[in-house]
Amino acid sequence: MKNDKRVYIFDTTLRDGEQSPGASMNTEEKIKIATQLQRLGVDVIEAGFAAASPGDFDAIRRICEVVDKSTVCSLARAVDRDIIQAGESLADAKHKRIHTFIATSPIHMEHKLKMSPEEVIRRAVAAVKLAKTFTDDVEFSCEDAGRSEMPFLKEILDAVIEAGATTLNIPDTVGYRLPQEMGAIIEELHGHVGERAIISVHCHNDLGLAVANSLFSVMNGARQVECTINGLGERAGNAALEEVVMAMKTRADVFEGIETGINTKEIYPTSRLVAAITGIEPQPNKAIVGKNAFAHESGIHQDGVLKCQETYEIMHAEDIGLETNRIVLGKHSGRHAFKERLEALGFDLSPEDLNKAFERFKLLADKKKEIFDDDIRMLIANEITNIPQAYELVGLQIADCSAGVPSAAVTIRHDGEEITDAGIGDGTIDAIFKTIDRISGHSGRLLDYRVEAVSQGKDALAKVVVNVQFDENNSAVIGHGLSIDTMLASAKAYIGALNSYLSMIPSNCQIDSCEGV
CA pair distance 28, 20, nearest whole angstrom: 18
CA 496: distance to chain centroid? Answer: 19
Q: Is there a binding annotation on residue 95?
A: no
- Calculate the alpha carbon distances from 463 to 54, 242, 248, 273, 368 in Å: 31, 25, 35, 14, 15
Q: What angle do CA 491, 497, 503 make, to 5 degrees?
A: 135
CA pair distance 359, 173, nearest whole angstrom: 47
- Report DSSP letters for 317-369, one per residue: GGGGT--SS-PPB-TT--HHHHHHHHHHTT----HHHHHHHHHHHHHHHTT-S
Residue 176, Cβ density class (10 Å: 0-12 exposed, 13-18 middle, ≥19 buried): middle
Q: In this structure, how many other beta carbons lie within 10 angstroms of the beta carbon of residue 3?
A: 10
Q: Is there a binding annotation on residue 3?
A: no
Q: Which long-range contacts (CB under 8 A, 24 or more apart) does 359-362 make?
A: 361/329, 362/331
Order of strands across the sheet that contains 477-483: 445-453, 462-469, 477-483
Is residue 261 a contact partner of residue 316, using CB atoms and an 8 Å limit?
Answer: no
Is residue 514 a contact partner of residue 52, using CB atoms and an 8 Å limit?
Answer: yes
Q: Which residues fall in the annotated binding site for Mn(2+)?
A: 16, 202, 204, 238
Q: Which residues fall in the annotated binding site?
A: 16, 202, 204, 238
